[in-house]
Amino acid sequence: MNLQENIDRIKSMMGLNESKLETIQSLIDRITNGMKNDCQDDDGVEEVRSVGDIHFEACRFLDSDELKVVVFDYVKSDNYTLIYVNITISTYLYVDEDYYLFELTKRLKPWIGNNKVIVGEYNNIYPESKRQW
């Protein structure tokens, strides 16, 4: 039994009826905020390297003016949990979400086991005419 199953069991016993979708959303929100805090240690040097244990490109993604990661579905099998998300971001730079998704998947593993985060929609709301790429 992994940690998430224990948490679900305790919540059930206490009468806290949060849906699994809400639980996954809450985990992703907390993990994303934790990653943002990890990026605060950056010294401002823009090169491909790691900041602590988080890749610089993930920090660039997290540094967006607005970032929303919304879980809209999940599928659990015996081996994996597939988590489907929509991402809304606002940045004038081209940023690659792959580093963020890799880090998110890694940090979700202790909570829900093997998982894969799949992006349904990716939307950069920064005006296209003002982007720098």
What is the residue extent of each domain of the chain? Answer: 3-130
Backbone angles phi, psi at 86, to 5 degrees: -110, 135
Q: pLDDT of 12-45, one tens digit each?
A: 776 665 688 888 999 999 999 999 988 886 554 4
What H or E segment, with its residue span, contains residue 75? Answer: strand 66-76
CATH of domain 3-130: 3.30.300
Rounded to two decimals, the pTM is 0.76
Sort 42 into a burial class: Cβ within 10 Å, 0-12 / 13-18 / 19+.
middle
Higher pLDDT, 10 or 100: 100
Q: pLDDT of 65-111, one tens digit each?
A: 789 999 999 998 888 899 999 999 887 777 789 999 999 999 999 98
> Could you tell me which of 78, 69, 66 has the C-alpha nearest to residue 105?
69
CA dist 68 and 125 (Å) reads: 11
